[in-house]
A and B are shown apart, each in its own frame.
Chain A
Amino acid sequence: MSFLKKSPWILHYDGTSCNGCDIEVLACLTPMYDVERFGIVNVGNPKHADILLITGSVNEQNTPVVKNLYRQMPEPKAVVAIGICATSGGIFQDCYNVKGGIDKVIPVDVYVPGCAARPEAIIDGVVKALGILEEKAKALKEAAHRQPVEVEESSHD
């Protein structure tokens, strides 16, 4: 029994997004979609968060920031890449300063494509991440009983 599913707290980070996806992420909090129905809260602090939502791609500038935020989240944790830029770099893929999708820097669990991603898709992505969180929690528990295993790597797509 785990309550992860009932109370996912979210950290939202904007990589180099054009703000389109950001607006859609925030739209999820509005009365129209009201994700708090599922216990989802936007906490804005990696140390409280379970799921990291990233919009936009990564580049030289924000790579250390993304890594740091990810590191500062307590286990178990999941990463959701929102929008096509976060998934693969999108149309900016070939820019000289863009590294590509988020998975170039940290392990990503769920990809939500779209330009911009629709709120329904974002909510769906978070719900998918909940299942992955659950698995990770289980794996962590087992790992605690057995030898230490690199948990993040096992669930890394």
Chain B
Amino acid sequence: MPTTATKAKASAAPTHHHSTPAISLQQVGKSFGDFEAVKGLDLEIRKGEFFSLLGPSGSGKTTVLRMIAGFELPTAGRIELGGQDVTYAAPFERDVNTVFQDYALFPHLTVAQNVEYGLKLRKLPKAERTARVAEALEMIQLPKVARRLPSQLSGGQRQRIALARALVLRPQVLLLDEPLGALDKQLREQMQIELKAIQREVGITFVFVTHDQEEALTLSDRVAVFNEGKIDQVGSPSDLYERPSTRFVASFLGNTNLIDGELARQLTGSPALLSLRPEHIVVRPLDSIQESGTSAATAVIEEIVYTGPTTRFMTRTDHGTQLIVQEQNGATSSGATRGSTVRLEWPSRYNYTV
């Protein structure tokens, strides 16, 4: 089919679906004494993919990253990079590079020397080293700080230098350990955009560890959600957000209404737990006509919170279930008032069993 072919060509990033995965973890486990940080993990990361490991602190995502880098050895299982077994290889024997959370720039070397360090170890000729360092600093838009020491840079600048230092080596895989965690919100959002642009430009597989669900959804082609040493779900951001497979995924990614009991039975015929996103629900007058293919519940509005672009309604259905509704402010505002009884309506396909 010609259409699919052009499509695949157009989206440069995740093309090699059928080739060897960039990273493959097979039944990987890691214990620290009695504590099982990672439990029998299977994961495949595709070439050229922006892949995020998302989870709360202590969920095992950083341990997985450190095992891929070679800083920790797994206590069980096998790790492959580009089809080669590297389970017990030393960090300096793996074609991966890491951007550390605290950047880990060498304080006794200038910015240029920091970026050049790995190239020197690879014994590249001086001229090529200089050219590649200049190119890397150009890419992160900091060509002027080459002669400075890391201590003379701002946090955002250090972050970029750390990125340049890793990318200049053109590894198969770049590992990023919460690289934006130390930056303030504005800078972080700016860096997210740049990071994504750089990843698209260099086409290297990025494995990105974060506990920030919004960051993971914004940046990633695919995300693995970690929960207590295991992966609950792997999928594209929209997969995870709209079709969460577990209660944990549903509540960790954004806000959700978890519905069980009587209301669940009314909606799906079974009392199994449902996840329903607040923004999928619309508030309608009781006397309006229910559209086909929708589910509905009658509810009283108990509280209204105005947040600028949206308004949140805290409601209670006649089954006693609390439902939160998020409404875009603007032309379609319902104008519902506190204490009024309304009908909550949403497309039935959003009743998602978790």
Q: Do A and B bind each other?
A: no
Interface set of A (CB-CB < 8 Å, partner B): none
